[in-house]
Every structure is written in C-alpha cells, then in structure tokens.
C-alpha cells in the first residue's frame, strides 16, 4: 500500500470512486480546482498498482479540515480508510495543527464508526448540510 500525492493521470479513477461513493459527487472541475490550491493536500492510495482511495484536506493556520475521503466500494473494510486517516493525522502533525475537523452524513453509520474508532468526537450538527440531511461535525485533537 502506498499513499502518494495526486497526479492528473489518476483523475478518471478518482472520479469513478467518487461517483460510486456519493449521491452528489464532486465534478472534474472541483477536483482540478483543489489541485491548484496551495492550502490543500490531495493524495491517493494505491494497492497493487490499483488506485483504491483518495483524500483531500485543507490546512489553515492551526486547523486541518478533511474535505473529502473515499475508498472504492470493492476495496472497503480492508483498513484503507484507516490508513488514509493515519496519513491525514501525520500531515496535520507536520503542519503543526491542533485539530482535524470533518462533516459526515448523520446516516453514514460506517463512516461515523470509523472516525470514532480513530478518536474523532462529535462536536455539533449542521442542519440540512447535505440538502435534506444533517451533517455531524467531528473533531480530532492532534
């Protein structure tokens, strides 16, 4: 397993994972916009020469926000999500941030359980953040 910086040659695979993972997937232009943002780290996870996941974080001053993370449905429940969270924590420590924040759908039990097992705690609710569905805001003290 290797986690490395995003390169545009991986874009089609990232978009495919995004489309399989979310009801309202991000667009190609959204992903490309993040590539140009100096506050953003966009990384992919490769297993046996196959791109199986990715994450995007933004760091501003002493806070890191997990903007997006996904694992291809065919590769879930194999600790790839946990590996990316470990890499995110390493990135946050390197940037000397104090907190990592994220939002997760209230109904996404699997993701909430993963985040909680990693040490994230629920700190708030964003009403109708996902259209008609609330988001749970979670925080990890780094």
CA dihedral sign of residues 127, 64, 122, 82: positive
| Pairing status of strand 133-141 against strand 99-105 | antiparallel
Burial 59-77 (b: 16+ CB within 10 A, else e): beeebbbbbbbbbbeebbe
DSSP string, 106-127: TT-HHHHHHHHHTT-EEEEEEE
Q: Could you confirm whether 133 is annotated as catalytic?
A: no
Q: Could you confirm whether 115 is annotated as catalytic?
A: yes
Query: Which candidate in 18, 103, 122, 129 is catalytic?
Result: 103
Query: Which candidate in 8, 18, 115, 129 is catalytic?
Result: 115
> Which residue is associated with the tokens 């909680």?
116
| Pairing status of strand 133-141 against strand 121-130 | antiparallel
The tokens describing 53, both together, are 């996941």
What are the catalytic residues?
A: 103, 115
């Amino acid at each position: 397993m290797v986690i490395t910086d995003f390169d545009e040659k991986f874009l089609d695979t990232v978009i495919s994972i995004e489309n399989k993972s979310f009801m309202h997937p991000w667009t190609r232009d959204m992903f490309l916009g993040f590539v140009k943002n100096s506050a953003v780290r966009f990384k992919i996870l490769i297993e046996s020469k196959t791109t199986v996941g990715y994450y995007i974080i933004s760091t501003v001053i002493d806070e890191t926000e997990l903007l997006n993370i996904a694992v291809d449905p065919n590769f879930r429940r194999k600790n790839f999500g946990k590996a990316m969270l470990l890499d995110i924590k390493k990135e946050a420590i390197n940037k000397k941030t104090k907190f990592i924040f994220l939002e997760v759908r209230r109904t996404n039990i699997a993701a909430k359980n993963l985040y909680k097992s990693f040490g994230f705690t629920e700190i708030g609710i964003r009403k109708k953040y996902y259209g008609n569905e609330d988001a749970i805001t979670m925080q990890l003290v780094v």
